[in-house]
């Protein structure tokens, strides 16, 4: 678990430098607002962002929580649906050749363009936000899982053939485990996209009745020129993205270690 | 399918291998050795001609209970399974009872010189030579009637290769499966095989079938004059000269 050196040395080497850099950036930010007399509606001081974050902590926390819930729901749906679709693709060449071009095509449609359509169909509220998050995070799972299910070593297939393994045995003991590292790699990309999808969804569809996520908060504070709170909301969404990405990363490294495959 | 003007990979290969015989197959790269082995295993059908294993085409013979095991040049282990679970794999498809599986895997580990401690490891934790031992153990656990080996020790250093040669012969002497062993290494071919088949390229054919008359295959054999003479003959034929 400790690749190089002791814990103390790792803190000095891996954690200390970015921390110093962060402090330097905040100091420079503060200095710039003072030196250039930047008005608070353009660039608020770091201290002002901090105090509004503390003051409105409940509001910020509940918005972050709601966005996190939507992103996680979208991500889990992608993981399940993407794997099932990939399974179908892996089983039928006809299905693959007829559907895969559209999967690639859909991937290139900008998410901002899809969100209003989804809201037109499903209305405002949590459901639509989850759907937007789902749609944008689905495709990396499909493409990765399909590749993983099909990219089986030829000699290993021959081995299974020589051992008179049934189709199902070959799937469960060879294709599926072979796809795991691929699905894990797809899940990493997908988890980041799920957060983006949830925030974009909230831009267009609030939840109504005084419940809102970070996307709505960002839009509202921007329109009202409450830049200090806008900064706080943007930082919160960044932290949310980092939190979800690193949790998925942690899970995936654990899985990959268990699978004894090198990271790609 | 035939292509106008295409050179067949193999041509005029006529060959009978007795039950329990150990045959070495040498030939230049690209002469169709691996193709021949795959045809013998029933993994691909010959475009012309036929192969019989115990009176049936190999693919049928396999379904009818003939055990054909294949050892590839790479160990080809499943990285997510431990050594023990890799060796167990073939038994899972046969519906062998778990207790019996465990006993058979333990026998196989022991036979190939791996400890129970090694058995709990994952392939990524083993050296190349150890991985090849596991691959052999996985082939032997099925108690094969035919063992096909496609240059299994090609990636190992010479000492390790000789060691594994000796162990393979020791196991063969006990179990007497029929073996077809592909190699580039002439001395390995002569040491292992009761017969050495020499192939040539384009199209691949068997140009020589050399009997190796040794009864005792001890390590000291490699220093005998007769051993040197035979490797000389095989090398000559391999280079395309008359014996």
Q: Tell me which chain B residue has its CA closest to the CA of residue A169.
A: B93
Q: Are strands B22-26 and B205-211 parallel, antiparallel or unpaired?
A: unpaired
CB contact under 8 A, B80 and A173: no
Q: Measured between CA atoms, how close is B100 to chain A, in angstroms? A: 18
On average, the pLDDT of chain A sits at: 89
Residue B66, token pair as written in the block: 């003939």
Question: Which residues 22-51 on chain A approach chain B with CB closer than 8 angstroms?
Answer: none
Peptide bond connecting A79 to the previous residue in cis, omega within 30 degrees of 0? no
Per-residue pLDDT band for A7 (boundaries 50, 70, 90) equals confident
Residue A55, token pair as written in the block: 């003051």
Least CB–CB distance from B122: residue in A169, A173, A260 = A260
Burial of B85 (0-12, 13-18, 19+ CB in 10 A): middle
Is-contact B83 B126, C-beta < 8 A?
yes
Q: Measured between CA atoms, how close is A185 to chain B, in angstroms? A: 17
Is-contact A43 A225, C-beta < 8 A?
no
Is-contact A148 A179, C-beta < 8 A?
yes
CA dihedral angle for residue B141, residue B145, residue B150, residue B153, rounded to 10 degrees? 50
On average, the pLDDT of chain B sits at: 89
CB contact under 8 A, B89 and A173: yes
Digit-coded pLDDT (tens) for B25-74: 998 887 888 889 999 998 988 888 888 888 888 888 888 888 899 999 99
Going by C-alpha positions, the residue among B200, B173, B171, B220 that lies closest to residue B71 is B171
User: What residues in A contact B79, CB-CB < 8 Å?
Assistant: 259-261
Res A51 pLDDT > 80: yes
CB contact under 8 A, B43 and A155: no
CB contact under 8 A, B92 and A260: no
CB contact under 8 A, B68 and A177: no
pLDDT: which is higher, B191 or A5:
B191
Note whether A164 contacts B: Cβ–Cβ < 8 A. Answer: yes
pLDDT of residue A263: 46
Element (H, E) at A63: helix A57-91
Q: What is the mean pLDDT of residues A161-179?
A: 93
Strand partners, B22: B179
pLDDT of residue B161: 93
Name the residue ranges covered by the structural domains of chain A.
Answer: 1-38, 44-263
Q: What is the mean pLDDT of residues A196-212?
A: 82
Is-contact A190 A79, C-beta < 8 A?
yes
Give the C-alpha separation, A57 to B196, whole Å.
82
Res A259 pLDDT > 90: no
Note whether B22 contacts A: Cβ–Cβ < 8 A. Answer: no
Range B199-228 burial, b when 16+ CB lie within 10 A, else e:
bbbeebbbbbebebeeeebeeeeeeeeebe
Tell me the HSE value of A57 on the side-chain side, using a 13 A CA sphere: 4
pLDDT of residue B61: 86
Give the end-to-end CA distance of chain B in Å, rounded to a whole number: 36
Least CB–CB distance from B79: residue in A162, A173, A260 = A260
Q: Which range in A163-167, B49-53, B115-119, B133-137 is most confidently predicted, on average pLDDT?
A: B133-137
pLDDT: which is higher, B19 or B192:
B192
Digit-coded pLDDT (tens) for B166-178: 999 999 999 999 9
Residue with tokens 């010189």, as numbered in its chain: B113
pLDDT of residue B202: 73
CB contact under 8 A, B89 and A163: yes
Q: Tell me which chain B residue has its CA closest to the CA of residue A168.
A: B93
User: What residues in A contact B124, CB-CB < 8 Å?
Assistant: 260-261
Res B5 pLDDT > 60: no
User: What residues in B contact A177, CB-CB < 8 Å?
Assistant: 78, 80
DSSP reduced 3-state for A57: helix
Interface residue of B39, B43, B60, B136 to substitute, partner A, most A CBs within 10 Å = B43
DSSP category for residue B6: P
Per-residue pLDDT band for A5 (boundaries 50, 70, 90) equals low
Digit-coded pLDDT (tens) for B201-212: 877 888 889 999
DSSP category for residue B94: T
CA distances from A59 to A66, A212, A227, A232 (A): 11, 9, 16, 11
CA distances from A121 to A105, A176, A208 (A): 21, 35, 17
Superfamily of domain A44-263: MetI-like (1.10.3720.10)
Res A264 pLDDT > 50: no
Residue with tokens 């996520």, as numbered in its chain: A213
User: What residues in B contact A164, CB-CB < 8 Å?
Assistant: 62-63, 93
DSSP reduced 3-state for B122: coil
Digit-coded pLDDT (tens) for A77-111: 999 999 999 999 998 899 988 988 887 777 777 87
Q: What is the mean pLDDT of residues B16-22?
A: 89
Res B241 pLDDT > 80: no
Counting residues of chain B whose pLDDT is more than 90, the rounded percentage is 60
pLDDT of residue A48: 94
Res B14 pLDDT > 80: no
Other residues' Cβ atoms within 10 Å of the Cβ of residue A199: 27
Counting residues of chain B whose pLDDT is more than 70, the rounded percentage is 95
Q: Sign of the CA dihedral A14, A20, A24, A30?
A: positive
Residue A197, token pair as written in the block: 């999808």
Give the C-alpha separation, B194 to B214, whole Å.
8
Q: Measured between CA atoms, how close is B44 to chain A, in angstroms? A: 10
Give the C-alpha separation, B202 to B6, whole Å.
11
Res A3 pLDDT > 60: no
Q: What is the mean pLDDT of residues A102-121?
A: 82
pLDDT: which is higher, B231 or A125:
B231
Res A177 pLDDT > 90: yes
Other residues' Cβ atoms within 10 Å of the Cβ of residue A72: 18
Digit-coded pLDDT (tens) for A222-240: 999 999 999 999 999 999 9
Starting at the edge strand that comes first in sequence, how are the strands of the sheet with B22-26 ordered?
B68-71, B146-150, B178-183, B22-26, B195-200, B205-211
Res A208 pLDDT > 70: no
Structural domains of chain B, with CATH: 22-242 (3.40.50.300)
pLDDT of residue B140: 95
Q: Is the ipTM of this complex over 0.95?
A: no
Element (H, E) at B148: strand B146-150
User: What residues in B contact A174, CB-CB < 8 Å?
Assistant: 78
Element (H, E) at B26: strand B22-26
Burial of B95 (0-12, 13-18, 19+ CB in 10 A): exposed
CA dihedral angle for residue A153, residue A157, residue A158, residue A163, rounded to 10 degrees? 140
């Amino acid at each position: 678990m400790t690749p190089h050196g002791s814990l103390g040395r790792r803190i000095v080497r891996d954690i200390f430098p970015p921390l110093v850099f962060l402090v330097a950036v905040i100091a420079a930010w503060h200095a710039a607002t003072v030196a250039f007399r930047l008005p608070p509606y353009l660039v608020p001081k770091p201290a002002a962002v901090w105090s509004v974050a503390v003051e409105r902590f409940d509001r910020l926390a509940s918005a972050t929580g709601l966005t996190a819930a939507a992103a996680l729901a979208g991500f889990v749906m992608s993981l399940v649906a993407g794997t099932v679709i990939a399974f179908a693709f892996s089983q039928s060449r006809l299905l693959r050749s007829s559907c895969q071009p559209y999967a690639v095509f859909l991937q290139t449609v900008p998410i901002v363009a899809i969100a209003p359509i989804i809201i037109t169909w499903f209305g405002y509220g949590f459901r639509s936000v989850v759907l937007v998050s789902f749609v944008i995070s689905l495709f990396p799972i499909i493409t990765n899982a399909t590749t993983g299910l099909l990219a089986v070593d030829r000699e290993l297939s021959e081995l299974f053939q020589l051992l008179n393994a049934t189709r199902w045995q070959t799937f469960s003991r060879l294709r599926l485990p072979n796809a795991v590292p691929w699905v894990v790699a797809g899940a990493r990309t997908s988890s980041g996209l799920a957060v983006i999808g949830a925030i974009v969804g909230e831009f267009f569809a609030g939840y109504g009745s005084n419940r809102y996520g970070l996307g709505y908060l960002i839009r509202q504070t921007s329109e009202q020129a409450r830049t200090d709170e806008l900064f706080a909301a943007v930082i919160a969404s960044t932290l949310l993205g980092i939190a979800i990405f690193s949790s998925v990363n942690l899970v995936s490294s654990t899985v990959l270690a268990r699978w004894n495959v090198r990271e790609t | 399918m035939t292509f106008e003007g295409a050179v067949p990979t193999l041509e005029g290969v006529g060959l009978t291998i007795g039950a329990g015989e150990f045959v070495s197959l040498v030939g230049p790269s690209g002469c169709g050795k691996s193709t021949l082995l795959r045809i013998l295993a029933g993994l691909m059908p010959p475009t012309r001609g036929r192969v019989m294993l115990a009176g049936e085409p190999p693919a049928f013979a396999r379904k009818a209970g003939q055990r054909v095991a294949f050892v590839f040049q790479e160990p080809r282990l499943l990285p997510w399974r431990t050594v023990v679970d890799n060796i167990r794999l073939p038994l899972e498809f046969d519906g062998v009872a778990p207790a019996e599986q465990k006993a058979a895997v333990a026998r196989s580990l022991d036979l190939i010189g791996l400890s129970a401690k090694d058995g709990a490891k994952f392939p990524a934790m083993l050296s190349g030579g150890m991985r090849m031992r596991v691959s052999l153990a996985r082939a032997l656990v099925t108690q094969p009637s035919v063992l096909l080996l496609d240059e299994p020790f090609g990636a190992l250093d010479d000492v390790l290769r000789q060691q594994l040669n000796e162990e393979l012969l020791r196991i063969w002497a006990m179990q007497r499966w029929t073996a077809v062993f592909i190699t580039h290494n002439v001395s390995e071919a002569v040491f292992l095989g009761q017969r050495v088949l020499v192939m040539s390229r384009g199209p691949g054919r068997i140009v020589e079938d050399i009997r190796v008359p040794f009864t005792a295959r001890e390590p000291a054999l490699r220093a005998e004059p007769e051993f040197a003479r035979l490797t000389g003959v095989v090398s000559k034929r391999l280079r395309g000269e008359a014996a």
